[in-house]
Structure 1
Amino acid sequence: MNTTYGWEDLVSAALVGTERRPLPSGESTPEAELLDHAALLTVRARAGRLPREGSPLEAAPEERQPEVPRAASARLARVLGGERSRLLAEWLQAAAERGYRLSPHLLPELLDQAVRDRSIRPHLGVLAGARGRWLAGLNPAWGFLLEEVTAPGAAHETWELGTSGDRRAHLGAVRAADPARARLLLDETWEKETPQDRAAFLEVLADGLSADDEPFLERVLDDRRREVRHEAADLLTRLPGSRLARRMAERAAACVRTENGEVQIVPPLTCDAAMERDGVRAKPPRGTGERSWWLQQIVARAPLEVWSGLLGLPPRELVRMKIPDWGREVMAGWVRATVLQGDPEWARVLFAWDPLADLLAVLPRGEREDLAAGFVRGHGLDGQLIMVLGGAAAPWGPDLALAVLEKILQVSSTQPWNLSELSRLAGERIDPALSGMAERLSPEPPVQEVAALLRFRDDMLKELQ
């Protein structure tokens, strides 16, 4: 076979056709001859390289963390092999919280999985240990590991030299002990931080947020990156007395008219630079009008108490009030404001009017579970019920667990084909210590399947003690 043809010649022949640009024919057809040449050139390109000089790799550093117990490691291998695979994140979180490191033979598979699944990366920062970070330095695809938290608690001497994850953990520990010191620490290095780190560090300031943080956050509103400005605006929205809150209250008041005893809403005509600085995004999502979008954001960032002052009604009556034309936008803004400002009173009245999962997170844990349990008992199995349960943080206590298990039992006799998502939530969110309660409730297969998953989780967590 003539091997003097280059890759460009073959590409040209393939594009115009072997009839118009034939290759010297051999024993095969022109098309086969073209493919033979391409295969030969490919093999030559891959194999025809001179070996490069190398140097021996340094050994991985010694480990300081305890290795995961043998039984727990064996269960992890089963999960990775497909048994109860949805529990992987829970296993990783529990092991990381206890400061364990993974068995070395499981590291490559988990690091490969974390390339595809970002949600498990923060746990691997701890679990990978020194060997994992050594491997990440050798494989660029695993480089994300070098940015994650490397210790389960607050790290020491890491603010200047630590990974991004370690620095966030350190800032959080300082914030919990001394909020002002944490803010000063961040202020000193602010201009040197990457945009991603600036936004992540601002999230840490949510704990212990106070009026003392306002001057720093007000300056951050001038940051060149939008995600950083929006994070600062979200924090200032949580401070009802902040200058941003007052500016938003003025904008909200300008949108409200009362004519003949009826409330009229007039959205802004433009989104100026001052509004954008305060966190209002000018460009709406696809399918949403500009004025509608701007109105929602103004309502979301205005202090909730401004509405009783403007309209003379308490929250429970405001949410029932008819608002012509723009009522949907105002209601959406109130929901977002309630979540941002963490107002339990508004969360209760809005949930009673329109049960949304985000509102549950605003309420104290006990009340949250009571509301969710009541909703489960009085509502049919549909997408809204699943969404509400998705907002009830795990682990679910006895009352909510019982309400969900009874719903499973009820639906199993009428719509057994419709149980998969509810059963999955029950098995993954109920406190695994309640597996005995589930097992005793009913011998029906759907309930017993949930009980089996709870027992699996209970055993899994006990192995990590």
Structure 2
Amino acid sequence: MTWLAELRSSALVGTGRHAVPVPAAELKFRPPDGLSREELLLDQAAVADVVTRAARRPGIVDTAQLPDPAPPDDAPQASADAVRLLDLLLNQPPVGPELRTQLVTDWLQFAAASGRRVPHRLLPALLALADTKPAVAEHMQLVIGTRGRWLQGLRQQGSGPRGHAPKGSGPQDTGQRAATTYDWAELTTAGATAELERLRRSDPATARELLHAHWDTLSARERAAHVAAFAINLEPADEDLLENALDDKAKSVRDLAADLLGRLPTSARANRMATRLRPLLRVKGLLRKQFEIDLPPDPDAAALRDGIAQAPRAAEPDRLGRLDTIIRGAPLDVWTTVSGRSPAATLAMLDGEPRVIDALVVAAALRTDTEWVRALLDLRTDTRLLGCLPAAAREDAVLRHIRSGTAQSTALVPLLRELPRPWGAPLAAAVLELLTAKNGGQLTAMVSGFLPMALPPGTADQCRRLLQRSDDDAPRRRVFRDVVQYQSFRQSLTEAFQ
């Protein structure tokens, strides 16, 4: 056994069971006297490391396989202060993961606006972060320069085709790959649905053709999952596919198709629902006009096909539920035609009909009918309606919703998340008031992921003062601290790129 093998055995089983070997004579090395067995082992291990490294020979390099050298990069680099801040964010971030991602994205946007690029030495760390953070990948292309794009190409060649999704992979593996009718069929249900959703955003017609071509080969679970993707960029051209889906054997598929057709007020199903609704509506009263609404009869075969529930065998039929289905599926102008009035005046004739109002809220929100949305908002503050307003009007509506005193945390958070950032000062003040209230801890936790980016810079001092208060709510203090850290760091970025 060689000296090196003996040394490994001693390290493996311990010096108490295997004596430390004497160094090989050719090494011309003698350990100092007086060392313990453990010290002798460590001493020789250090020598062995040096010897094995020194004896290692370089491999033979095929120069034909080497990449072309990086082209020159003439774009000006960001300033020393800006580079220092990016280095800090990439290698020793002073903030949590979410704020770090946002601040790196902010840095990239500042750099793009000023025509500066990332320094070459930070490109590997930035590209590695972009692999897991889509927001970083989205904003870095304009500022990584020629050398950054060269390095991207090398990384992609080394890892094989990025975005390939073999059979059995999940939706996260589909990437931005352009699907063909062959490889789409090879994906799992989740992967194929994710690809359909991507196509619905960029090319709805291709997504429609893809699903139509494979419809007969899919299971009921797959058909339901894929039909649900058509809620993205739903358009009248989807009607034929959805109309055919009303005849599907699976109830889950039929229900989804009926729901999506209900969002198309000009569809044939909407017209059929209008035909069913009109005979149920009458206007009564001389001085104070009101609607009188009849309940629908038992559904025939055509009504069952359109999603109106049949009577259960052992219970009374849900005729109110049938009415809800008809109202949600019929065009809203049926009501204004019968009343001869505007949406707001028509709603005034439905006093005492909360269930009907609920169904109209659903219908108006699904179709994003702005006139009806605004009229319904005068009657009730519903988050589904608020989400339909244009971005410019949404913040004012959310502010009114908060000041109404009926805002609930779980319903308020999605609206706040989707608002343009930063918010205006009045909304910021109203939200901070909710967060600092005695029962504001739950809402604080729910908005913690985006609050630092949503509050305007002027609120940093207010959050500093809130931090100084005696408050045993650690999560709430953490959120205020994140606001201060984010806005302070972003101010440093602003100054570094001036």
TM-score (norm: length of structure 1)? 0.61
Task: Give 1:370 shift.
Answer: 2.0
Taking structure 1 as reference, are residues 359 and 408 closer, same or farther at Cα in structure 2, changes over 3 Å only? closer
Report what 1:23 is aligned to.
Answer: none
Matched, 1:329 2:364: no
Report what 2:376 is aligned to.
Answer: 350
Report what 1:114 is aligned to.
Answer: none
Would the aligned equivalents of 1:435 and 1:451 in 2 still touch at CA under 8 Å? no
The structure, 1 or 2, with the larger RCO (C-alpha pairs under 8 Å, 6+ apart) is: 2
Q: 2:343 aligns with which of 294, 309, 315?
A: 315
Report what 2:333 is aligned to.
Answer: 305
- AA matched with 1:342: T
Q: 2:438 aligns with which of 413, 417, 425?
A: 417
Say which SS state the counterpart of residue 417 (structure 2) adopts.
coil
Q: 1:195 aligns with which of 213, 220, 223?
A: 220
- AA matched with 1:437: G
Matched, 1:95 2:169: no
Taking structure 1 as reference, are residues 388 and 345 closer, same or farther at Cα in structure 2, changes over 3 Å only? farther
Would the aligned equivalents of 1:357 and 1:387 in 2 still touch at CA under 8 Å? no
Report what 1:217 is aligned to.
Answer: 242
Report what 2:430 is aligned to.
Answer: 407
Task: Give 1:307 shift.
Answer: 0.9
Deviations 1:422-443 (A, max 9, x none): 3334433436264743322351
Matched, 1:270 2:291: no
- Structure 2 CA distance for aligned equivalents of residues 448 and 240 of structure 1: 48
Would the aligned equivalents of 2:227 and 2:257 in 1 still touch at CA under 8 Å? yes
- AA matched with 1:206: A
Report what 2:482 is aligned to.
Answer: 453
- Structure 2 CA distance for aligned equivalents of residues 395 and 456 of structure 1: 22
Would the aligned equivalents of 2:298 and 2:311 in 1 still touch at CA under 8 Å? no
- AA matched with 1:95: K
Taking structure 1 as reference, are residues 232 and 362 closer, same or farther at Cα in structure 2, changes over 3 Å only? same
Would the aligned equivalents of 1:432 and 1:455 in 2 still touch at CA under 8 Å? no
Report what 1:58 is aligned to.
Answer: none
Would the aligned equivalents of 1:356 and 1:387 in 2 still touch at CA under 8 Å? no
Structure 2 gaps of 5+ residues are: 1-89, 101-128, 139-158, 161-165, 470-475, 491-498
Report what 1:153 is aligned to.
Answer: 176
- Structure 2 CA distance for aligned equivalents of residues 217 and 314 of structure 1: 31
- AA matched with 1:234: D
- Greater mean deviation of Cα atoms: 229-238 or 215-224: 229-238
Taking structure 1 as reference, are residues 92 and 350 closer, same or farther at Cα in structure 2, changes over 3 Å only? farther
Taking structure 1 as reference, are residues 192 and 420 closer, same or farther at Cα in structure 2, changes over 3 Å only? same
Report what 2:120 is aligned to.
Answer: none
Would the aligned equivalents of 2:200 and 2:232 in 1 still touch at CA under 8 Å? yes
Deviations 1:136-193 (A, max 9, x none): x9xxxxx9x8443314424545312123333233334444454333222211110211
Report what 1:361 is aligned to.
Answer: 387
- Structure 2 CA distance for aligned equivalents of residues 407 and 309 of structure 1: 41
- Structure 2 CA distance for aligned equivalents of residues 339 and 411 of structure 1: 27
- Structure 2 CA distance for aligned equivalents of residues 181 and 435 of structure 1: 42
Task: Give 1:410 shift.
Answer: 4.4
- AA matched with 2:368: G
Report what 1:51 is aligned to.
Answer: none
- Structure 1 CA distance for aligned equivalents of residues 172 and 219 of structure 2: 17
Report what 2:460 is aligned to.
Answer: 439
Q: 1:374 aligns with which of 400, 413, 435?
A: 400
- AA matched with 2:439: N
Task: Give 1:223 shift.
Answer: 0.7
Report what 2:190 is aligned to.
Answer: 165
- AA matched with 1:170: E
Q: 1:394 aligns with which of 412, 417, 420?
A: 417
- Count of residue pairs the alignment pairs up: 335
Say which SS state the counterpart of residue 392 (structure 1) adopts.
helix
- AA matched with 2:445: R
Say which SS state the counterpart of residue 238 (structure 1) adopts.
coil
Would the aligned equivalents of 2:193 and 2:225 in 1 still touch at CA under 8 Å? yes
Would the aligned equivalents of 1:99 and 1:152 in 2 still touch at CA under 8 Å? no
Say which SS state the counterpart of residue 349 (structure 2) adopts.
coil
Would the aligned equivalents of 2:395 and 2:427 in 1 still touch at CA under 8 Å? no
- Structure 2 CA distance for aligned equivalents of residues 253 and 93 of structure 1: 56
Would the aligned equivalents of 1:168 and 1:204 in 2 still touch at CA under 8 Å? yes
- AA matched with 2:291: V
Report what 1:296 is aligned to.
Answer: 324
Would the aligned equivalents of 2:261 and 2:269 in 1 still touch at CA under 8 Å? yes
What is the Cα-based RMSD across aligned positions, in Å? 4.2
Deviations 1:27-74 (A, max 9, x none): xxxxxxxxxxxxxxxxxxxxxxxxxxxxxxxxxxxxxxxxxx7768x9
Report what 1:428 is aligned to.
Answer: 449
Would the aligned equivalents of 2:274 and 2:330 in 1 still touch at CA under 8 Å? yes
- Structure 2 CA distance for aligned equivalents of residues 356 and 211 of structure 1: 27
Taking structure 1 as reference, are residues 400 and 176 closer, same or farther at Cα in structure 2, changes over 3 Å only? closer
Percentage of identical aligned residues = 26
Taking structure 1 as reference, are residues 281 and 369 closer, same or farther at Cα in structure 2, changes over 3 Å only? farther
Would the aligned equivalents of 1:372 and 1:388 in 2 still touch at CA under 8 Å? no
